Amino acid sequence: DAKTTQPPSMDCAEGRAANLPCNHSTISGNEYVYWYRQIHSQGPQYIIHGLKNNETNEMASLIITEDRKSSTLILPHATLRDTAVYYCIVINTNAGKSTFGDGTTLTVKP
Amino acid sequence: DTEVTQTPKHLVMGMTNKKSLKCEQHMGHRAMYWYKQKAKKPPELMFVYSYEKLSINESVPSRFSPECPNSSLLNLHLHALQPEDSALYLCASSQEPRYGYTFGSGTRLTVV
């Protein structure tokens, strides 16, 4: 299973874009990249996912490099409520297994 | 209904007790999962059920016993736990893995 590497922590000013990187250099062709976040030890909340194309939804954008070895989650206008642990996850669609990285603690500051 | 419901939210049990955690979803998802999360750590996969059959057991000790009575319900039976088993236990479900998971809010377990 592919592993993911994320920086342990990042700060972002309120109203600015937050760019969270993830390295998944051993990803294979049938593995999707997912981003979740977790606030105050609640259950992880889905943000966005992709296979090889860039994706955008109402919460965020996901940029995946052409070789698929890394990706970046973009929160376009971070708010204080976006303070959370963000997990980049690679999901093996054949095996149904997922591997969580250690996550990035994003702190949005006023 | 787009939720995964876990009960109880909090549980304190002694090392000789037997207790069960419950997880329920009514989204028609075919796969259900148990994760264990220690403080300040990412969730770790424990079990995967696919079409009500156990498909993955990540070498979990036998004091944890999963059960999937039907496609909407997943239980985790606990017996003779140790204090180090204290953690947040998360349940998740998915239609197919490539569609990602919906997580419940978890059960905070404390073993005394």
Confidence of residue A3 (pLDDT cuts 50, 70, 90): confident
Do A41 and B37 count as a contact with CB atoms less than 8 A apart? yes
Between CA A75 and CA A63 the distance in angstroms is 11
Q: Which residue in B6, B103, B107 has the most chain A C-beta atoms within 10 A of its own C-beta, making it the best mutation to test that interface?
A: B103
Closest chain A CA to residue B90: A43
Strand A9-13, strand A104-109: pairing: parallel
Between CA A21 and CA A86 the distance in angstroms is 10
Q: Cis before residue B8, ω within 30 degrees of 0?
A: yes
Do A46 and B102 count as a contact with CB atoms less than 8 A apart? yes
Which tokens go with B43?
Answer: 């969730």
Percent with pLDDT over 70 in chain A:
98
Do B106 and A42 count as a contact with CB atoms less than 8 A apart? yes
Residue A92: what pLDDT? 81
Per-residue pLDDT 10s for chain B (112 aa) are: 679 999 999 999 999 999 999 999 999 999 999 999 999 999 999 999 999 999 888 889 999 999 999 999 999 999 999 999 999 999 999 988 777 899 999 999 999 9
Closest chain B CA to residue A50: B98
B97 φ, ψ to 5°? -55, -35
Between CA B25 and CA B101 the distance in angstroms is 12
> Is a pLDDT exceeding 70 seen at residue A48?
yes
Do A96 and B102 count as a contact with CB atoms less than 8 A apart? no
Residue A1: what pLDDT? 61
Across the interface, which of A41, A46, A103 has its CB nearest the CB of B100?
A46
Residue B57: what pLDDT? 87
Distance of CA A67 to the CA centre of its chain: 17
Stretch A12-34: mean pLDDT:
93
Residue B80: CB partners within 8 Å, gap ≥ 6? B15, B16, B63
Q: Number of A:B CB contacts under 8 A? A: 58
Nearest-CA distance from B110 to chain A in Å?
Answer: 15
Q: Which residues of A touch B97 (CB under 8 A)?
A: 32, 91-93, 95-98
Do B100 and A34 count as a contact with CB atoms less than 8 A apart? yes
> Is a pLDDT exceeding 90 seen at residue A18?
yes
> Is a pLDDT exceeding 70 seen at residue A2?
no
pLDDT, tens digit, 9 for 90 and up, residues A55-105: 999 999 999 999 999 999 999 999 999 999 999 999 887 777 787 889 999
B59: alpha, beta or left? (left if phi > 0; alpha if psi -120 to 50): left
Contact B66, B75 (CB under 8 A): yes
> Is a pLDDT exceeding 70 seen at residue A51?
yes
Residue A41: what pLDDT? 74
Amino acid, res. A74: I
Does residue B10 belong to the interface with chain A, where contact is any CB pair within 8 Å? Answer: no
> Is a pLDDT exceeding 90 seen at residue A30?
no
